[in-house]
C-alpha cells in the first residue's frame, strides 16, 4: 500500500527532483514539479509549433485542387492532412502544461502568438510544392529530430510520430522536383526558379545566428534544445547540397563551397533584415494567412458547438446510468 505524500512535501522536494531529472537526462511529466519559466518556455514553444503546423496547411492547401494529376492531388491532400494532425498532437501536448486550447487559438487569431515565418511566403507555382516538401519539411526534420529527446515527455513523444511523417513529406517534395527536372525545359526552369525563392528562407527557419539568440542557452540547459541554431543550419546545408546535385538544381548561393578543414559546406550571409520584416508581419502573406485562419475558425464554430452539445448529452446519459 502507498500513502499519498502531502502536496506541501511534494512541492518542497520538487525543485531538487526536477534538477535530478534534467541532470540524468530523463523526462519531466505533466504532474511533476517544474519551474514556472520552464513551463512558460514550453507553452510558448509548443504552441508556436502547433500554430506553424496549422498555418502551414495554407500555402499547400491552395494547390490541392490544382495539382497536375489525381495521384498528385491524393498525395498532397494526405500531406496537408498530416500537418493538421501535427497541430493537434502539439496543442494536446501544450494543454498538459495547463494552458487551455482556446487561449492558444485566441493568441494565434489576435496575432499575439507567432508561427514560423516561412509560411508567410506565397506559392505561385506547382514547383513550390516540391520546394516546400524538400526544403521546408527538410529543415523541419533537422530541427525536430533532436526534439524527440526533449526533456518534456508529452512534447518528445508527439515529435516521434511527427518526424516519421515529416520524412515522407520531404521525400514527396524531392520527388516532385525530380519529376520536373526530368521533364521539359520549361519544367526545369520552373523548378529552379522555385528553389531560388525557397533556399534562403528555409535556411532562416533555424532562427537567428547563435550570438543573436539569447534564449537558446537556457533551453539547452533544460534539455529542450539540443543543438544551437547555427549547428542545425549547418547540418541542413550539409544534407541538401548532395541532394541538390542529384536533382540537378543549383542552390542560389555563390559562397557555397566545401571547407576541407571544417568538414562542412560554407554558405553565404543571410538577409536577416528580411527575416525581421516577415516576423514583424510585413511578409508577402502574413495578413492573408491570419484572415483565412480567422474565417476558418468562425466557419467552424457550429462544429465546436455541436461537439460540446454532444459531450454534454453523453455526460448526462452516463450520470443517469450510474
Residues in contact with Fe ion by CB under 5 A are 53, 83, 86, 137, 166, 169
Q: How far is the CB of 126 from Fe ion (least distance, A)?
A: 18
* Helices within 2-69 (DSSP H only): 7-23, 36-55, 57-61
152 - beta bridge partners? Answer: 28
Residue 205 to residue 23: CA distance in whole angstroms:
29
152 — phi, psi (to 5°)?
Answer: -85, 115
Q: How far is the CB of 137 from Fe ion (least distance, A)?
A: 4
Residue 168 to residue 183: CA distance in whole angstroms:
23
- DSSP annotation of 278 reads I
Q: How many other CB atoms sit within 10 Å of the CB of residue 235?
A: 19
Decide whether 83 or 128 has the Cβ nearer to Fe ion: 83
Distances (CA, A) of 185 to 69, 203, 263: 20, 27, 35
Q: How far is the CB of 140 from Fe ion (least distance, A)?
A: 6
Decide whether 34 or 117 has the Cβ nearer to Fe ion: 117
Decide whether 38 or 89 has the Cβ nearer to Fe ion: 89
Decide whether 86 or 293 has the Cβ nearer to Fe ion: 86
Angle at 253 between CA 48 and CA 282, to 5 degrees: 40
Burial class (CB in 10 A: 0-12, 13-18, 19+), 33: middle
Decide whether 166 or 253 has the Cβ nearer to Fe ion: 166
Q: How far is the CB of 132 from Fe ion (least distance, A)?
A: 8
Q: How far is the CB of 80 from Fe ion (least distance, A)?
A: 9
Specify whether the backbone of 207 is left (phi greater than 0), alpha (psi in -120 to 50) or beta: left
What is the torsional sign of CA 196, 197, 200, 202?
negative
Q: How far is the CB of 86 from Fe ion (least distance, A)?
A: 4
Decide whether 118 or 180 has the Cβ nearer to Fe ion: 118
Decide whether 169 or 233 has the Cβ nearer to Fe ion: 169
Q: How far is the CB of 75 from Fe ion (least distance, A)?
A: 13
Cell of 253: 548561393
Amino acid at each position: 500500500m502507498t500513502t499519498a505524500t502531502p502536496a506541501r512535501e511534494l512541492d518542497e522536494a520538487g525543485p531538487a527532483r526536477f534538477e535530478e531529472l534534467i541532470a540524468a537526462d530523463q523526462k519531466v511529466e505533466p504532474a511533476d514539479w517544474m519551474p514556472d519559466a520552464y513551463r512558460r518556455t514550453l507553452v510558448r514553444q509548443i504552441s508556436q509549433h502547433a500554430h506553424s503546423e496549422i498555418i502551414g496547411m495554407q500555402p499547400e492547401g491552395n494547390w490541392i485542387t490544382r495539382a497536375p494529376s489525381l495521384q498528385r492531388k491524393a498525395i498532397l491532400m494526405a500531406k496537408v492532412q498530416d500537418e493538421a494532425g501535427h497541430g493537434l498532437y502539439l496543442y494536446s501536448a501544450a494543454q498538459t502544461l495547463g494552458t487551455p486550447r482556446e487561449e492558444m487559438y485566441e493568441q494565434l487569431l489576435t496575432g499575439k502568438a507567432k508561427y514560423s515565418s516561412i509560411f508567410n511566403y506565397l506559392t505561385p507555382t506547382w514547383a513550390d510544392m516540391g520546394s516546400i516538401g524538400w526544403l521546408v519539411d527538410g529543415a523541419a526534420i533537422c530541427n525536430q529530430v533532436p526534439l524527440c529527446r526533449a526533456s518534456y515527455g508529452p512534447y518528445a513523444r508527439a515529435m516521434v510520430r511527427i518526424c516519421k511523417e515529416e520524412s515522407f513529406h520531404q521525400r514527396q517534395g524531392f520527388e516532385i522536383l525530380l519529376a520536373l527536372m526530368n521533364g521539359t525545359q520549361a519544367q526545369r526552369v520552373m523548378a529552379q526558379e522555385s528553389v531560388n525563392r525557397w533556399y534562403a528562407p528555409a535556411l532562416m527557419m533555424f532562427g537567428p545566428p547563435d550570438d543573436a539568440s539569447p534564449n537558446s542557452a537556457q533551453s539547452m540547459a533544460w534539455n529542450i534544445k539540443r543543438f544551437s541554431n547555427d549547428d542545425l543550419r549547418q547540418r541542413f546545408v550539409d544534407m541538401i547540397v548532395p541532394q541538390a546535385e542529384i536533382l540537378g538544381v543549383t542552390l542560389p548561393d555563390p559562397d557555397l563551397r566545401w571547407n576541407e578543414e571544417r568538414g562542412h559546406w560554407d554558405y553565404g550571409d543571410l538577409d536577416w533584415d528580411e527575416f525581421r520584416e516577415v516576423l514583424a508581419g510585413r511578409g508577402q502573406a502574413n495578413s492573408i494567412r491570419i484572415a483565412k485562419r480567422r474565417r476558418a475558425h468562425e466557419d467552424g464554430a457550429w462544429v465546436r458547438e455541436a461537439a460540446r452539445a454532444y459531450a454534454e448529452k453523453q455526460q448526462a446519459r452516463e450520470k443517469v446510468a450510474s
